Chains A and B, each alone.
Chain A
């Protein structure tokens, strides 16, 4: 698919802001930092069928930082999983779009997440199951049948890496040689209580992931083309060892949202209609700049 990825990302940023708009509050910071990644995944990378959300052979996305749900919902609506009108129902009573991703409520959501760290393990289960179902590694599949093993994409946060379960899972993923697992770590440097370096410093995450046996790349997480390139390089780090892949996204929490960016406490915030109007105008302007 030949896509103008920066434009898709700019459009998704605007739509994600609109998801929050009606509520007046939400997990704005962490949703904004993964917009480019979601735009890339849902525009040409993931093999999916929006008209058949439960297609068994689809690629899967686990957004382990489940609070980025609003950005995921905007991406799903853009791909036609449901109408954009639904986006306004975020967190309303009876909604199918809750704060945190829920596979039983939202078409296109592949795993329920929200309790941090847990999406790592469930994504590993999915990737392992995909390989078992396919009966072999991507290489053997492509050689024999001209098909490929479906992939699981996993998004974790850098603050989430405080959770021990993340590291339990990464150890198993490498041990099991899950070369169909591609993990993104949203390295925005912030967690709920402030800057990671002040709350619980995770140190050099890329170094740690590599030490855990992942083919690790670091990219500008707000450069959609760079993300796409990293995904196409994923799994090619060491063909003999067949290791899982990690893409560390250098991001800014709240990126592109005028009232959230550059704030220390922007994990879950409230905003005024005026602030949102300003943010929407800025996002619209970004679309214009990318289109030009």
Chain B
């Protein structure tokens, strides 16, 4: 793994879904087993170019997500590598049992792509806001849960995701992400990326929270606090070694997720720490509430997911050190 951080953080020119579809289409050109499925959200998922390139390997299952997951599992039993797409809400809580039995328990080879994570569902509102998608799937053994941060990471991870056997859930922001990584950065599934070293507190972040966390670092510097930043883009299997090492180095931890703190990244990190290295932990994330409708900026403030919130949590964590 070798990562370089951009000096200036700003929104990428391309939407994540465009990068996703381009890379998957390229991979499908090389591997005739790659297939794509959608559930009447092809336009939202951005998969039309794939369908045009490989009409025989694209299946629109209609508004029937449970069936789509099972069909994907069946295709994988025939040696295909299916990528099934829908909104994160329907990709997880609606089809939890299908992912469990038809895919995971059956030890088949399936990728589920859930778009619009957490507050990114914005104007679709609380009904469509997956704040529990990772929690729901985290309890299923052997699942691999990934939230790519930006297009550079997505492009680097997709060939790994296509090439390694297992049942994956990819939590995909389909809009323009804030670009965090320089082109050429390379990542390893299951390993966190250390973006910045620090000695007082470790900020573990994922998805849209990574850029917020890097902003929070500046606020903390002004207060004389040195923060380590780790991008835990793989929620399962969690990088326990890096979490423990970071806790030893800094003695306090903040987790930052665009997700309910119940069962999510904060829980995953805390599960590692209580067993191995108990240190003060603060959790930034939605505090066990339902989502609501509104612009993403408003929702980030409404659920305290901003750099200011992260910095304040870091100060609390540092003060709690024994």
Contacts and interface: CB of A to CB of B under 8 A. Distances in A.
User: A and B: real partners?
Assistant: yes
B66 interface: yes
A121 B79 contact: no
B101 A126 contact: no
Contacts of B102: 112, 115, 118, 121-122
Contacts of B82: 125
Interface string B248-265: 000000000000000000
A125 B76 contact: yes
Interface in B182-212: none
Interface stretch (B67-75, B121-129, B162-170, B173-181): B67-75
Given A115-B101, A122-B71, A128 B59 contact: yes
Interface string A114-126: 1101111111111
Contacts of B70: 118-122, 124-125, 165, 169
* Central interface residue in B70, B75, B105, by most chain A CB within 10 Å: B70
Contact of A125 (B57, B66, B75): B75
A129 B77 contact: yes
A110 interface: yes
Given A112-B106, A169-B67, A172-B64, A122 B74 contact: yes
Contacts of B59: 128, 176
A133 B78 contact: yes
A196 interface: no
A2 to B, nearest CB: 31
B67 A172 contact: yes
Contacts of A114: 101
B74 A112 contact: no
A104 interface: yes
Given A112-B101, A118-B101, A132-B56, A165 B66 contact: yes
Contacts of A129: 74-75, 77-80
Contacts of A111: 74, 77, 106
Nearest to A133: B78
Contacts of A122: 70-71, 73-74, 77, 102, 106
Nearest to A132: B56
Contact of B62 (A104, A119, A171): A171
Contacts, number: 108
Nearest to B76: A125
Interface residues of A, number: 33
Interface in A128-177: 128-130, 132-133, 164-165, 168-169, 171-172, 175-176
Interface string B61-100: 1101011111111111111101000000000000001101
B107 interface: yes
A118 B76 CA distance: 15
A132 B81 CA distance: 13
Given A165-B67, A172-B67, A125 B61 contact: no
* Central interface residue in B64, B67, B69, by most chain A CB within 10 Å: B67
A75 B67 CA distance: 28
Given A111-B77, A129-B80, A132-B78, 6 more contacts: A104-B107, A118-B66, A129-B74, A168-B62, A171-B62, A172-B64
19 contacts: A104-B107, A112-B101, A113-B101, A118-B102, A120-B70, A121-B102, A122-B70, A122-B77, A125-B71, A125-B78, A125-B82, A126-B78, A127-B74, A128-B74, A165-B98, A168-B62, A169-B64, A169-B70, A176-B59
Interface of B: 56-57, 59, 61-62, 64, 66-80, 82, 97-98, 100-102, 105-107
Interface of A: 56, 103-104, 110-115, 117-130, 132-133, 164-165, 168-169, 171-172, 175-176
Interchain residue pairs A-B with the least CB separation, the first 9:
A125-B74, A121-B70, A129-B78, A168-B64, A168-B67, A112-B106, A122-B74, A125-B71, A125-B75
